[in-house]
Each structure stands twice: as C-alpha cells, then as structure tokens.
Amino acid sequence: MNATKVRALRDRLGLDRGTFARLCGVDVRSVYRWESGEVEPQGVSLALLLAIHDQIKVPSAHAERVVRFLADTARMGGFALVVSRLLDRLDAKR
C-alpha cells in the first residue's frame, strides 16, 4: 500500500494521524513515514490496512463501522483479529 493510499484511507475515515496511529497500534511517526512515502507498511500493519481498505470499499460500510473495527483490532493486539478475519474469508469461499 503506497503513501497516497494510506493517506486516502485515513482521510476517508476522518481521523488525524495520532488517532489513526493509536487505532492501528503504531506510533505517529510510522503513519507519517507511510504517508510521506519514506517507507511502506509491512507485515501486520500492511495486513491491517488492507483489511480496513476492504471494509471501506464495501458499499454498505460506514466510517463508524471501520473505526469500530480498528478499535477492536487495537484492543485485541491487532494480529489476532486480522488473522481471524482472514480465516473467516477463507471459510466463506469454500
């Protein structure tokens, strides 16, 4: 996910960098570096951002639901929820 997409995602949610960083489980500097193109998200952060992006592109998805998803993810340590969601999607495709 490139800098433009990360920024567009945060803007679509209507969140400042600090709130977005906290909900993603990273520090503000990480979000700044993603948005400036200095680095691209990797690993769990990338998986989380892609999951959020998938939630937003669904027509019935609302920003409030996505923010709730982010908050749940941050509370659960991020990775566990992302893996759970990915496994749910795999099961649904069978």
What tens digit of pLDDT does each residue of 51-91 get? 888 877 766 656 677 767 766 766 666 666 666 666 677 66
How many domains does the structure of the chain reveal? 1
Percent of the chain with pLDDT over 90: 24
Average pLDDT, stretch 38-59?
82
Distance from C-alpha of 9 to C-alpha of 4, rounded to nearest angstrom: 9
- What backbone torsions phi and psi does residue 51 show, to the nearest 5 degrees? -65, -40
Which tokens belong to 26? 């990273």
Q: What is the pLDDT of residue 80?
A: 63
Domain membership of residue 49 as a residue range: 3-93
Q: Are 72 and 24 a contacting pair, CB within 8 Å? A: no
Q: Does position 37 have pLDDT exceeding 90, yes or no?
A: yes
The span from the CA of 44 to the CA of 73, in Å, is: 11
